[in-house]
């Protein structure tokens, strides 16, 4: 890792910090109804939608009604997506005459795109028609991040309100999120991608003759529109199976850099939005610093082990022992490691290199990014309410340590809130470890493993971690397109999504009813270096150590096997 690599990382962070504030302010303006030039231009369309759908702009929901509306909307979109994938052969824009998905694969894909996971147990260009790409799936590319974003807005709203019963109106938040944030910004991003060479067409696949005299089909399609939301909405599913390693999705070095920036943009802006809503920028700054420290540590560790490569190659006299296997040669070691860390830290899951080819400890960093639970910036919206669970746990523990009633920004943390918080923390490892343990011993699951031993075990754990954490990145090596894997992965995606989102809405409902008490000298500050250190410590103790046994049996054991 050289000076150019560090300079690129520094430039990325500087640009991210520079864009976080204006986007965070814009989010505040959108969800509080403040004046903004873009809000004025689109407000007529917004009001027409309210009139057409008979939505009362003055109505607000208590937390459980907000959650019910969210679940009903998600359920309806799931049914529509599933029906579209099952009826694909009868629908238009299918120049390759691709058939319908099998029931179990369609269910898996539906939950994948609905939960912002975008898990793909299929090859996109050989399975999905243009209609499936741009109607049900692109629709989910907008709806799945917007559901997480409005949930985050409702949670933050509930935490910031005093002696209230309501946390907002789900339908108003959903409409505003799409009209003012996702649609206009993704449109500008798509135009940039097209300018860089990302394709956007409806042409049939092109048949060419290779130099050897064989034939090959070159897939096309409306990629730019989906790639823009794949990254900005932290969805992650690739229009092509090679994802962001494909030159039609990621054609230039500048495009690669901007794609990395856009994956981080919304999760980072939500931290600034948190500070504006809480009227406590010191707290938001501390949260961002904690996320940033964890992110930089991950990038440096992953890059370090990828540059070290495999010692077996050194013994064989290979001049360059860097681990270039599975890397896109246009981007190299550092860009591959940086892209992979951003994708697994943000919940996006996009890739520009084959993760299965990373070194054992390099790959373990990516695995740990997801196991911590979408808190190192995390997904669009889901990252901030995921981090709030660890903030509450940190303040609860610190309050007990100093013998005071735990409180968060002047509000007492009660028993009910901690029950909901612990549910958010316990559910992901329960499903990751439970499903992983079953798959390790059941023959129908083990038969899908392509690599035996420690690496095969890592592939199993990575697959379920990616599903439950709603990330969607694939370690590969597993043949997951079977009824068993499709069902269990869909189960993990569903529980990982909604059994962390709904409890946090419940916590927000509890907090919005509370009265704010003045901070005293004995109150533990939710800002500053001490808070950052304690927050990172709790994340590692509660989050990382939960998974230490499976890390020891997987990538760590494989690392020592490689050295031997």
How far apart CA 124 and CA 242 sit, in angstroms, is 9
Find the helix or strand (DSSP H, E) in which 217 lies: strand 215-218
445: burial class by Cβ within 10 Å (0-12, 13-18, 19+)?
buried
Examine residue 449 and state whether it is found in any structural domain, yes or no.
Answer: no
How far apart CA 371 and CA 471 sit, in angstroms, is 10
Q: How many CA atoms lie within 13 A of 533 on its CB side?
A: 3
SS3 411: strand
Examine residue 399 and state whether it is found in any structural domain, yes or no.
Answer: no
User: In terms of Cα–Cα distance, which of 264, 282, 284 is closest to 272?
Assistant: 284
Q: What is the dihedral of CA 256, 260, 261, 263, to 10 degrees?
A: 130
Examine residue 491 and state whether it is found in any structural domain, yes or no.
Answer: no
Helices (H) and strands (E) in the chain, counts: 23, 4
User: In terms of Cα–Cα distance, which of 347, 394, 383 is closest to 538?
Assistant: 394
User: In terms of Cα–Cα distance, which of 145, 333, 318, 119 is closest to 228?
Assistant: 145
Distance of CA 81 to the CA centre of its chain: 20
Q: How many CA atoms lie within 13 A of 67 on its CB side?
A: 17
> What is the number of structural domains in the chain?
1
Examine residue 469 and state whether it is found in any structural domain, yes or no.
Answer: no
Distance of CA 84 to the CA centre of its chain: 24
Q: For residues 463 and 371, is the Cβ–Cβ distance under 8 A?
A: no
Task: Give the ranges where 161-222 is alpha helix by DSSP (H).
Answer: 170-176, 183-196
Q: Determine the Cα angle at 475 with ends 270 and 493, to 5°.
A: 55
Examine residue 245 and state whether it is found in any structural domain, yes or no.
Answer: yes
How far apart CA 237 and CA 230 sit, in angstroms, is 6
For 479-514, give one letter per residue: b (16+ CB within 10 A) or e.
ebbbebbbebbbbbbbbbbbbbbbbbbbbbbbbbeb
Examine residue 88 and state whether it is found in any structural domain, yes or no.
Answer: yes
How many CB atoms are located within 10 Å of the residue 281 CB? 14
Q: For residues 416 and 508, is the Cβ–Cβ distance under 8 A?
A: no
Give the structural domain span for 177: 28-252
- Tell me which residues of the chain have a pLDDT lower than 50: none
Find the helix or strand (DSSP H, E) in which 44 lies: helix 37-53
Examine residue 462 and state whether it is found in any structural domain, yes or no.
Answer: no
Would you list the DSSP string of 125-161?
HHH--HHHIIIIIHHHHHHHHHHHHHHHHHHHHHHH-
Examine residue 306 and state whether it is found in any structural domain, yes or no.
Answer: no
Find the helix or strand (DSSP H, E) in which 535 lies: helix 529-538
Output the average pLDDT for the chain: 90
For 526-562, give one letter per residue: b (16+ CB within 10 A) or e.
bbeeebbebbbebbeebbeebbeebbeebbbbbbeee
How far apart CA 180 and CA 320 sit, in angstroms, is 49
Distance of CA 439 to the CA centre of its chain: 24
How far apart CA 265 and CA 538 sit, in angstroms, is 25
How far apart CA 354 and CA 328 sit, in angstroms, is 8
């Amino acid at each position: 890792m050289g000076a150019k690599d560090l300079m690129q990382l520094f430039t990325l962070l500087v640009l991210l910090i520079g864009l976080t504030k204006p986007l965070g302010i814009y989010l505040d303006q959108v969800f509080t109804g403040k004046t903004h030039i873009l809000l004025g231009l689109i407000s007529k369309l917004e009001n027409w939608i309210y009139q057409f759908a008979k939505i009362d702009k003055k109505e607000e929901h208590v937390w459980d009604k907000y959650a019910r509306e969210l679940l009903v909307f998600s359920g309806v979109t799931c049914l529509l997506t599933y029906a579209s994938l099952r009826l694909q052969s009868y629908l238009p824009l299918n120049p390759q005459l691709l058939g319908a998905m099998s029931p179990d694969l369609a269910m898996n894909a539906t939950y994948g795109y609905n939960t912002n996971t975008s898990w793909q147990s299929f090859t996109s260009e050989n399975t999905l028609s243009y209609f499936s790409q741009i109607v049900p799936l692109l629709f989910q590319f907008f709806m799945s991040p917007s559901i997480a974003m409005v949930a985050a807005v409702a949670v933050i709203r509930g935490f910031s309100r005093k002696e209230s019963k309501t946390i907002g109106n789900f339908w108003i938040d959903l409409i505003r999120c799409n009209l003012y944030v996702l649609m206009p910004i993704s449109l500008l991003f798509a135009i940039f991608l097209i300018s860089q060479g990302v394709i956007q067409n409806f042409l049939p696949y092109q048949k060419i003759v290779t130099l050897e005299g064989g034939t090959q089909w070159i897939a096309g399609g409306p990629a730019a529109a989906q790639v823009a939301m794949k990254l900005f909405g932290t969805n992650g599913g690739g229009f092509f199976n090679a994802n962001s390693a494909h030159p039609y999705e990621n054609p230039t070095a500048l495009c690669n850099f901007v794609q990395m920036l856009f994956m981080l943009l919304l999760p980072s802006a939500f931290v600034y939005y948190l500070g504006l809503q809480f009227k406590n920028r010191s707290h938001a700054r501390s949260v961002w610093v904690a996320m940033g420290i964890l992110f930089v540590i991950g990038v440096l560790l992953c890059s370090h082990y990828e540059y070290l490569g495999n010692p077996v190659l050194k013994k064989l006299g290979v001049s360059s022992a860097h681990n270039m296997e599975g890397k896109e040669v246009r981007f190299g070691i550092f860009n591959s490691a940086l892209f992979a860390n951003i994708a697994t830290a943000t919940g996006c899951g996009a890739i520009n290199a084959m993760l299965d080819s990373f070194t054992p400890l390099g790959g373990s960093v990516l695995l740990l990014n997801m196991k911590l639970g979408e808190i190192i910036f995390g997904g669009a919206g889901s990252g901030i309410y995921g981090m709030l669970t660890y903030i509450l746990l940190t303040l609860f523990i610190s309050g007990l340590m100093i013998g005071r009633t735990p409180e968060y920004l002047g509000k007492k943390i009660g028993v009910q809130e901690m029950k909901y918080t612990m549910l958010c923390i316990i559910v992901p490892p329960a499903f990751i470890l439970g499903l992983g343990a079953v798959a390790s011993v059941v023959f129908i699951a083990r038969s899908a493993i392509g690599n035996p031993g420690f690496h095969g075990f890592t592939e199993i754990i990575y697959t379920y971690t990616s599903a439950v954490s709603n990330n969607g990145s694939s370690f590969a090596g597993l043949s997951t397109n079977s009824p068993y894997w499709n069902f269990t992965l869909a189960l993990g995606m569903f529980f990982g999504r909604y059994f962390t989102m709904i409890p946090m809405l419940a916590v927000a409902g509890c907090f919005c009813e509370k009265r704010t008490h003045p901070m005293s000298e004995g109150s533990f500050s939710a800002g500053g270096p001490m808070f950052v250190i304690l927050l990172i410590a709790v994340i590692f103790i509660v989050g990382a150590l939960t998974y230490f046994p499976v890390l020891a049996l997987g990538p760590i054991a494989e690392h020592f096997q490689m050295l031997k």
